[in-house]
Structure 1
């Protein structure tokens, strides 16, 4: 069964997007080779994103690198939202509740990862006990404000343990 993995690139002060969801800060940090990101991409069988992330500020918008993983991901995408568009883009499935979205994404992913994109969907997955792993890439920048990697005031403490043999900042959720 597919594992749910929350992955993100964050500033050193813990933000995955700037104020208003701005992602333009990320563009300069997406250069060069990243073997961990390449391994992750090869293991992703489906993406589960929130509506804000799906419709948000792609740092590569308008270029040939637009889309997940710098435009390199070509597979099933599930968007968790209560406001689906009247005419969904081809290849995108909009789902109104978390259990259905996770089930559909897992089925589509097979034995590969369901890559969770977006802090709010990750928070919902943690609260529901569904998240299996977390991978954070850090960019050498301090944003000072924006969307936190993970923000759940009053939420449960979640223990993470490093995955043996993996890169730093790739963790398994301890249950």
Structure 2
């Protein structure tokens, strides 16, 4: 059965996007990363929030613009959104609630990962007890403001167990399992 993995690049000060969802900062850190390359081959479906799906693209103005993992992956994509666009987008299914998003994306992924994109979706999956793992690629930059990796007003504690740790010239990769007890 598919696992739900929140994979994300993050600044050293804990932001996954700049103010307003700006992803241009990530462009300088899209270099080779063997762990990410390995992950791509193990992704069976994507589940993104509407802001992540329609937001800034670090590959903007390149041939890879609009392509998952810069064109390194293709397959079924699911977007958790209140409203689907008027025109269908080939290969993209818009779902309106978390339970449907979980069910449909996991079915599409088979025995591979559902790669989760978007802090809000990840938080909703945690609340539903459906998020299994988190891969954080920490980049050597501090943004000072923006969208946090995990933000839960009023606070909550999510315990993690480290599964893997590796480094590249420009990143520190930490892969965790969500501890359920």
TM-score of the pair, normalised by structure 2: 0.92
Partner of 2:92: 92
Q: Could you tell me which runs of 5 or more consecutive residues in structure 1 were left unpaired when the two chains were aligned.
A: none
How much has 1:155 moved relative to structure 2?
A: 4.6
1:26-65 matches, within 5 Å, as: 26-31=26-31, 33-65=32-64
**Partner of 1:148 in structure 2?**
148
SS in 2 for 1:120: helix
Decide whether the 8 Å contact of 1:48 with 1:77 is kept in 2: yes
Could you tell me the TM-score, scaled by structure 1's length?
Answer: 0.95
8 Å contact from structure 1 (residues 127, 155) kept in 2: no
Deviation at 1:72, TM superposition (A): 1.2
Partner SS for 1:75: coil
Distance 2:117 2:155 in 1: 19
Which structure shows the higher strand fraction?
2
Deviation at 1:156, TM superposition (A): 3.1
Structure 2, unaligned runs of 5 or more: 167-172
* Corresponding residue number in structure 2 for 1:115: 115
C-alpha distance in 1 between matches for 2:28 and 2:99: 36
- Once residues 70 and 80 of structure 1 are traced to their aligned partners in structure 2, the CA distance between those partners, rounded to angstroms, is 21
Q: How large is the Cα RMSD of the aligned pairs?
A: 1.1
Partner of residue 68, structure 1: 68
Render the CA deviation track for 1:11-43: whole Å, top value 9, x for unaligned.
000001001110001001102x21100011011
> Quick one: distance in 2 between partners of 1:110 and 1:154?
36
Quick one: distance in 1 between partners of 2:102 and 2:121?
10
Give the SS at the match of 1:70.
helix
Cα deviation for residue 62 of structure 1 reads 3.0
Tell which deviates more after alignment, 124-133 or 59-68.
Answer: 59-68
Partner of 1:8: 8
